[in-house]
């Protein structure tokens, strides 16, 4: 049965041998999708950058408010404590 032998040979070849590897490998659209250089460089939405830096902006605002209310020693003390806790 020649048909059975050819199907056995075809099934025994691993799929990885069909994919290219190395510096000249092509982009596989089925596995990785379309690429867009613009989407890799810029945020996709105008508020994305703001949301990414939300915690940093909130900390700066809180430290500025604390400085206006209690003086410069209060935010400096908190920042030193945060740094000490991060090192542990």
Q: What is the pLDDT of residues 23-72, one digit of tens each?
A: 666 667 777 777 666 656 666 787 888 888 999 999 999 999 999 999 99
Q: Is residue 37 part of a domain?
A: no
Cβ–Cβ < 8 Å for 63, 75? yes
Q: Helix (H, G, I), strand (E, B), or coil: what is residue 32?
A: helix
What global pTM score does this model have? 0.47
Task: Give 24 or 1, the one with higher predicted confidence.
Answer: 24
CA angle 41, 42, 43 (to 5 degrees): 135
On whether residue 79 sits in a domain, the answer given is yes
Nearest to 67 by CA among 58, 56, 78: 78
**Sign of the CA dihedral 50, 60, 65, 58?**
positive
**By the 8 A CB rule, do 27 and 43 touch?**
no
Predicted confidence at residue 88, as pLDDT, reads 82
Residue 24 lies in a domain: no
Is 38 part of a structural domain of the chain?
Answer: no
Residue 67 lies in a domain: yes
Domain-located, residue 72? yes
Number of structural domains the chain divides into: 1
Q: Domain containing 61: what range?
A: 45-87
């Amino acid at each position: 049965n020649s048909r059975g032998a050819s199907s056995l040979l075809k099934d025994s070849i691993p799929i990885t041998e069909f994919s290219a590897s190395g510096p000249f490998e092509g982009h596989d659209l089925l596995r990785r999708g379309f690429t867009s250089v613009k989407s890799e460089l810029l945020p996709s939405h105008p508020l994305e950058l703001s949301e990414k830096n939300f915690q940093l902006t909130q900390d700066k605002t809180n430290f500025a408010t604390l400085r206006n209310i209690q003086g410069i020693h209060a935010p400096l003390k908190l920042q030193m404590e945060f740094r000490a806790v991060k090192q542990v």
